[in-house]
A and B are shown apart, each in its own frame.
Chain A
C-alpha cells in the first residue's frame, strides 16, 4: 500500500522547509549552526522528494487532501511524474547553492531562511493540484526571490531587485486574472477537474485565458519579448543567488508552460503552436547573438538563459509525447547547467576552470556532458514535428543555436581562465577557499555522470511526458 507512505513523503516535502524556514527566520543566519540546520532541512526535503519520485514513476500519482477534508472540498496536493521531476531538480539546485554559500560563509542574517521559504514555495507549487494554491505558492517563492535578489544590499542590486519585483508582480497579476477566468469558465480550481471540463468549451473563449497564462509564465522564464528585466537582475547578483534564480526559480516558467499548456489547455496550445515556435526560435537566436556580443561573464550567462528558455518553448510547440519529453529533459538539464556555471563563475583558483569548462561543454551540448542529452532529445522532437519543412527549419535552427552557444561558452571560458585581463576583477586577489572549489568539482562530476549514465533522467522525463500526453 503506497497510500500512507506517499502522503507522508508528500507532506514532508512540502512541510519540512516551511517549518524550518519559520524557525530559522528568527535566528541569525550568519551563525554556522543556522546555515547547517538549513542544509540539513533541505537535505531531508531532497530525500523525501527522491522517495516521492521513485513512488510516482513506479505507481502513478500520489494524492493527499490537506487538513483531513473530504476529497473535492479541501486543497489537494497531487504529485505526478512531471511535478516530482521539477521539484527534485529545483530543490537539488537550491541545495547545491545553499551548501556552496554555507561552505564559503553566509553574509546575511536572512539568507538561510529565505532560501528555505523559496524551497517551500517551489515544492508546494510543483506538487499542488489546485490552480489557486499554485498562485499562492508561486507568490511565496517569488517574494523570497525578490528579497534574495537584493542580497548584500548594494544600491544597484536593490534597484535591480525593485525592477525584478515590479515586472514579476505584473506577471503574477496577469496569471491571477487567468486563474479567475479559468474558475469562471469551469467552476472549479482543481487541475484535474478543469482539464476535464474545459474540453467541451469552445476554444475561442479559452484562447484569451491561455494567452494570459502564456504571457505570465514567459515573463518568469524570460523569453524573448519579455526578457528585458533578466540581464539587470543576474548581472548584479551574488553567484549562489544567480544560480538559484536561474536554476530553480526559472523552472516555474517551464513547469507552468508544460502544466497549463500541455495538461490543462492542450487544444489551445495546439492552436497557438505556430506562435510558440516562432517566439521560441526568436528567443534562441536573440539570446545567443546577445550572449556573443557581451564581455561580462554574468551578462553572457544571463543572455544565454534567454536562449536556453527558447529551446524549451520550441520543444513545447512541437508537442506530443516526444516534444514534451524533450521539453522536460531540456529544462532539467538546463537548470543543472546554469546552477553549475553561475556557481563556478563566482570562484577563482585552480580546479574552478575545469568545473566551468564542464558546464560550458554541457550548454553547448558536447558529449559526454548532460547537455548532449537535451540536444539529442530536441533533434528527435524536431524530426517528429508534423511537416518536412518545419522539421528541416527546426533542425537548422537548433544546429545554429548550438553552434552559437558553443562560441559564447568558450569565449567566456577563454576570457576568464586562459587570458585573464589585469582589469578583470574576477581574477584579482587570492583564490577562493578550498571547500567551495571542491564542491563545484563534485557538481561538474555529477553533470558528467548524468551524461554518461542517462537512464534515470531519461525515464523520469518520459514518465513526465506521459502524464501530459494522457496515458499513465
Chain B
C-alpha cells in the first residue's frame, strides 16, 4: 500500500512538473493543479490508517485505539483542496486576461506580441523617428490581423 501510494504521488508530481515546463500557459496551470493534488495525496498518506469514520459517537476504543482512522489528515486535505482550487481559478483568470489581450496562450507568442505593441506605442509617441523603414509598422498591423 505504501509503495502504491508513493508511486502514485511521484507519477502525479512528475507529470505536473513536465506540464509546468511547457510554453502553453494552460498546460502550466494544469501542471500546478496536478502538483497540488500530489501534495494533497501526500498529506493523506502522512496519516494513512484503516478504521471507522471519525464521526462523533466513537467506538469504544476511542481515538487512541486502532479503531478509528486519523481525522486530522482528512481535515488538512480538505483545506488544501479548497486552497488549490481557488488558486487554480485565479491562475485561469490571469490566463484568460492574457488570452483576451493577445489572442494566444503561448508564452513566447505573448512576449513577441508585447514587444510589437511596445514598438508601436513608441512610434506613436515619437513621430520624429518616422524616417526609420516604414514597413515595420505595416508588418505589425498585418501580424495583428492574421492572428
A→B interface (CB under 8 Å): 132, 136, 139, 143, 146-147, 150, 153, 155-156, 158-159, 161-162, 165-166, 169-170, 173, 176-177, 179-181, 183-184, 189
- The CA-CA distance from A139 to B91 in the complex, in Å, is 14
Instruction: State whether the Cβ of B94 lies closer than 8 Å to any Cβ in chain A.
Output: yes
A180 in contact with B46 (CB, 8 Å): yes
Interface residues of B in 1-48 (CB under 8 A from A): 20, 25, 28, 32, 35-36, 38-39, 42-43, 45-47
A165 in contact with B42 (CB, 8 Å): no
- The CA-CA distance from A156 to B97 in the complex, in Å, is 11
Find B32's partner among A139, A161, A170, A177 (CB 8 Å cutoff). Answer: A170
- The CA-CA distance from A158 to B87 in the complex, in Å, is 15
**Which B-chain residue is minimally distant from A173 (CB atoms)?**
B39
A-B interface pairs (CB < 8 A), number? 81
Q: Mark B105-139, 1 if CB is under 8 A from A, else 0.
A: 00000110010010000000000000000000000
- What residues of chain A lie closer than 8 Å to B80, measured between beta carbons? 176
- The CA-CA distance from A136 to B111 in the complex, in Å, is 34
Instruction: State whether the Cβ of B90 lies closer than 8 Å to any Cβ in chain A.
Output: yes
B98 in contact with A155 (CB, 8 Å): yes
- The CA-CA distance from A136 to B72 in the complex, in Å, is 15
- The CA-CA distance from A463 to B94 in the complex, in Å, is 43
A176 in contact with B87 (CB, 8 Å): no
- The CA-CA distance from A165 to B25 in the complex, in Å, is 12
A166 in contact with B47 (CB, 8 Å): no
- What residues of chain B lie closer than 8 Å to A159, measured between beta carbons? 98, 110-111, 114
**What distance in Å separates the Cβ of A407 from its nearest Cβ neighbour in chain B?**
30
Given contacts A143-B90, A158-B98, A169-B87, 12 further A-B contacts (CB under 8 A): A132-B76, A139-B83, A147-B90, A158-B94, A162-B25, A162-B91, A166-B28, A166-B91, A169-B32, A169-B35, A180-B43, A183-B73
**What distance in Å separates the Cβ of A159 from its nearest Cβ neighbour in chain B?**
6
- What residues of chain B lie closer than 8 Å to A158, measured between beta carbons? 94, 97-98, 101
Interface residues of B in 38-77 (CB under 8 A from A): 38-39, 42-43, 45-47, 72-73, 76
Question: What secondary structure prevails in chain A residues at the interface with B?
Answer: helix
B→A interface (CB under 8 Å): 20, 25, 28, 32, 35-36, 38-39, 42-43, 45-47, 72-73, 76, 79-80, 83, 86-87, 90-91, 94-95, 97-98, 101-102, 110-111, 114, 117
**What distance in Å separates the Cβ of A235 from its nearest Cβ neighbour in chain B?**
13
**Which A-chain residue is minimally distant from B79 (CB atoms)?**
A136
- What residues of chain B lie closer than 8 Å to A147, measured between beta carbons? 90
- What residues of chain A lie closer than 8 Å to B79, measured between beta carbons? 132, 136
Known: A177-B42, A180-B76, A183-B47. A170 touches B35 (CB 8 A): yes
- The CA-CA distance from A150 to B97 in the complex, in Å, is 11
- The CA-CA distance from A83 to B54 in the complex, in Å, is 34
Q: Would you list 26 pairs from A and B whose C-beta atoms are within 8 A, ordered by A residue?
A: A132-B79, A139-B83, A150-B94, A153-B97, A155-B101, A155-B114, A158-B94, A158-B97, A158-B98, A159-B98, A159-B114, A161-B94, A162-B95, A162-B98, A165-B87, A165-B90, A165-B91, A166-B20, A169-B91, A170-B32, A173-B39, A176-B42, A180-B43, A180-B73, A181-B46, A183-B73
- What residues of chain A lie closer than 8 Å to B98, measured between beta carbons? 155, 158-159, 162
- What residues of chain B lie closer than 8 Å to A139, measured between beta carbons? 83, 87
- What residues of chain A lie closer than 8 Å to B39, measured between beta carbons? 173, 176-177, 180
- The CA-CA distance from A156 to B79 in the complex, in Å, is 32
Known: A132-B79, A162-B94, A166-B28. A173 touches B36 (CB 8 A): yes
- The CA-CA distance from A179 to B42 in the complex, in Å, is 10
